[in-house]
Chains A and B, each alone.
Chain A
Amino acid sequence: MKTIERTLPVPPTRPEFERAIADARNVGEIVRPLSIWERVTNITAVRRLSLLVLLAVIWQVYSSWLDNPLLFPTFSEVVRSFWHDLVNGELIARTGVSLKVLLLGYAAGIAIAAVLTTFAVSTRIGTDLLSTLTSMFNPLPAIALLPLALLWFGLGNPSLIFVLIHSVLWPVSLNTHSGFLGVSETLRMAGHNYGLAGIRFVLRILVPAAFPSILTGLKVGWAFAWRTLIAAELVFGVSSGSGGLGWYIFENRNELEIANVFAGLFTVMVIGLVVESVVFRTIEAHTVRKWGMQR
């Protein structure tokens, strides 16, 4: 066998050089404005609106093809009855009733969650309490508590608020607490270094640092609250004379005004869209996005 001849690679010797840098003006295009199409599609609202329009068109086409107003009214019909009940004030009144109860329950739920998570983050027994309660009650559907609530608080707003608190409290606490746990050790030490402790530490360091999670909790809580409220109204309907949106849906189904049923559902969706894209988005833009915690 012949010995394999291997030469170790030797890089060639190259001359050194220095160069003058070209004037940036001669390089050509360095900064270019975006085209109109690029700028328009960069606006979130435009992209979302076009999605909504697309969905509406699909709805309209499918329901016209189906041609069964009792099962699935067309989009234009739904919009017509939505507009009709909006103008005569019925939908607005019903929405007002629902929103009032909803906001009461939501606010109470958040307040209790704040107390519970502050307790949980400052003591070990509080942590145990929160995680035990959350794992027990979070899977329990709020609606399942409704019969009990009716027994305890009677027919009316108190029992609605009770189930609303139940549906808001657990997701908000869970998210807030996990957000608190995720705050980096460095930030905690920095806070303690300034002499912050107790409630001041929670408010000035933990809450802003955990704000992305808290916001998620608030969003989930908001959605849960709506679901619970509409379902509760569907089950036991009218309270103190004028029913809310759920009752409106229930009534119209009984009268086979299916377009109005859709209009009721439509209202819930519109409110959801508005709250998400106006309220939560504004909060996000002024907090987590501005702080670079979220894209």
Chain B
Amino acid sequence: MDAGADRSTSGEAPLLEVEDVTLQYKTKQHLVTATYRVGFRVYRGDRFVLLGPSGCGKSTLLKGVAGFLRPVEGRIRLNGNLVQRPGPDRMMVFQEFDQLLPWKTVTQNVAFPLLASKRCQSKEAEERALSYIARVKLLEFRDVYPHMLSGGMKQRVAIARAMAMEPDILLMDEPFAALDALTRRKMQEELLQLWSDIRFTVLFVTHSIEEAIIVGNRILVLSPHPGQVKAELNSEHGHATAGDREFLALQQRIHRMLFAEAVEDTRVRV
């Protein structure tokens, strides 16, 4: 709610600054306000989670950061530069499995953005692609077309593709939501492992409280219709501490925040 509250203790400049952003999109009949004056700051190395029920504009917010949507009010800055259009410095991992290009093999898919953005020559791009494919443990499937992969493997390729670009920030829009529970857990573990290996910055959207606590180190809780910031919390939990008393307490706390709407609405907001 007030951006002054989350100033970094070390005085380091934030990587991503979202200041009082209002986002609107048009449907056939309506102009929908998805978020209303949302602000937050993401620092280098953060695993920043946007959490909220459906309709809180968290995916729209991510699209705003990605540059697919212009804010009607407020500013989004990455490294101090205003975000105005989509670009390869913010790589997006989508929820849908069809985000891979079906006409390219796994390696070609991972190498394609490197080539399309003219960041690498073809040989260098392939080498880099292979090293990231190895990181997500898909080396033996490198010459396979996406339609032959399972859902979890496709998401791993999408993550490798995004990370191979070595973007300033990785944007993940409920990347594991369409996976089965066992695969989802495995993917979360792998994501955390990758993070501790190479320390990327990720902005992660989810509607699962548990996933937010496990994946994130900082959680932005949003309220719906339109999306507004309700709280920003810290989490130091992973799979190892899932089910701990503190974990459960945090889970309860967020749960109450999200589902105590009736009480919240009576309160006057400034």
Residues on A lying within 8 angstroms of B by beta carbon are 184, 186-187, 189-190, 192-196, 200, 204-205, 208-209, 211, 287, 290-293
Q: Are A194 and B116 touching (Cβ within 8 A)?
A: yes
Closest B residue to A208 by CB, please name it. B103
Residues of B within 8 A of A211 (CB): 103
Q: Return the contact of B101 from the options A192, A195, A208, A287 (Cβ within 8 A).
A: A208
Q: Are B88 and A291 touching (Cβ within 8 A)?
A: no
Q: List 19 A-B contacts (CB under 8 A).
A: A184-B98, A186-B94, A186-B98, A186-B99, A189-B66, A189-B68, A190-B99, A190-B101, A193-B87, A193-B91, A193-B113, A195-B87, A195-B117, A208-B102, A211-B103, A287-B103, A292-B146, A292-B147, A293-B103
The answer to the question of B112 belonging to the interface, with a C-beta cut-off of 8 Å to chain A, is yes
The answer to the question of B270 belonging to the interface, with a C-beta cut-off of 8 Å to chain A, is no
The answer to the question of B232 belonging to the interface, with a C-beta cut-off of 8 Å to chain A, is no
Closest A residue to B118 by CB, please name it. A195
Residues of A within 8 A of B112 (CB): 194
- Interface of chain B residues 54 through 95 with chain A (CB within 8 A): 66, 68, 86-88, 90-92, 94
Residues on B lying within 8 angstroms of A by beta carbon are 66, 68, 86-88, 90-92, 94, 96, 98-99, 101-103, 112-113, 116-117, 145-148
Residues of A within 8 A of B96 (CB): 184, 186
Report Cα–Cα, A49/B192, bound state, in Å. Answer: 57
Q: Are B117 and A292 touching (Cβ within 8 A)?
A: no
Residues of B within 8 A of A187 (CB): 98-99, 101
Q: Contacts A189-B94, A190-B94: A195 and B103 contacting too (C-beta < 8 A)?
A: no
Q: Are A190 and B92 touching (Cβ within 8 A)?
A: yes
Q: Are B147 and A291 touching (Cβ within 8 A)?
A: yes
Report Cα–Cα, A186/B94, bound state, in Å. Answer: 7
Q: Are A195 and B88 touching (Cβ within 8 A)?
A: yes
Report Cα–Cα, A246/B112, bound state, in Å. Answer: 48
Q: Are A193 and B148 touching (Cβ within 8 A)?
A: no
Residues of A within 8 A of B103 (CB): 208-209, 211, 287, 291, 293
Report Cα–Cα, A195/B92, bound state, in Å. Answer: 12
Report Cα–Cα, A187/B102, bound state, in Å. Answer: 10
Report Cα–Cα, A204/B86, bound state, in Å. Answer: 17
Q: Are B117 and A291 touching (Cβ within 8 A)?
A: no
Residues of A within 8 A of B116 (CB): 194-196, 200, 204
Closest B residue to A287 by CB, please name it. B103
Report Cα–Cα, A209/B145, bound state, in Å. Answer: 14
Q: Are A193 and B92 touching (Cβ within 8 A)?
A: yes
Report Cα–Cα, A211/B101, bound state, in Å. Answer: 12
Q: Are B102 and A189 touching (Cβ within 8 A)?
A: no
Report Cα–Cα, A292/B104, bound state, in Å. Answer: 11
Q: Return the contact of B88 from the options A186, A194, A208, A293 (Cβ within 8 A).
A: A194
Instruction: Say how far A63's CB is from chain B's closest CB, in angstroms.
Output: 48
- 16 further A-B contacts with Cβ under 8 Å, apart from A195-B87, A196-B116, are A184-B98, A187-B98, A189-B92, A190-B92, A190-B99, A190-B101, A193-B91, A193-B92, A194-B112, A194-B117, A195-B116, A195-B117, A200-B116, A208-B101, A290-B145, A292-B146
Instruction: Say how far B225's CB is from chain A's closest CB, in angstroms.
Output: 23
Residues of B within 8 A of A192 (CB): 68, 86
Report Cα–Cα, A291/B99, bound state, in Å. Answer: 14
Instruction: Say how far A238's CB is from chain B's closest CB, in angstroms.
Output: 45
Q: Are B101 and A193 touching (Cβ within 8 A)?
A: no
Closest A residue to B87 by CB, please name it. A195
Instruction: Say how far A201's CB is from chain B's closest CB, in angstroms.
Output: 10
Residues of B within 8 A of A293 (CB): 102-103, 147
Residues of A within 8 A of B147 (CB): 291-293
Closest A residue to B95 by CB, please name it. A186
Report Cα–Cα, A291/B116, bound state, in Å. Answer: 20
Q: Are A292 and B145 touching (Cβ within 8 A)?
A: yes
Residues of A within 8 A of B90 (CB): 193
Q: Contacts A211-B103, A287-B103, A291-B145: A193 and B98 contacting too (C-beta < 8 A)?
A: no
Instruction: Say how far A164's CB is from chain B's closest CB, in angstroms.
Output: 30
Closest A residue to B117 by CB, please name it. A195
Residues of B within 8 A of A194 (CB): 88, 112-113, 116-117
Report Cα–Cα, A194/B118, bound state, in Å. Answer: 10
Residues of A within 8 A of B146 (CB): 292
Residues of B within 8 A of A184 (CB): 96, 98
Instruction: Say how far A82's CB is from chain B's closest CB, in angstroms.
Output: 41
Report Cα–Cα, A151/B253, bound state, in Å. Answer: 83
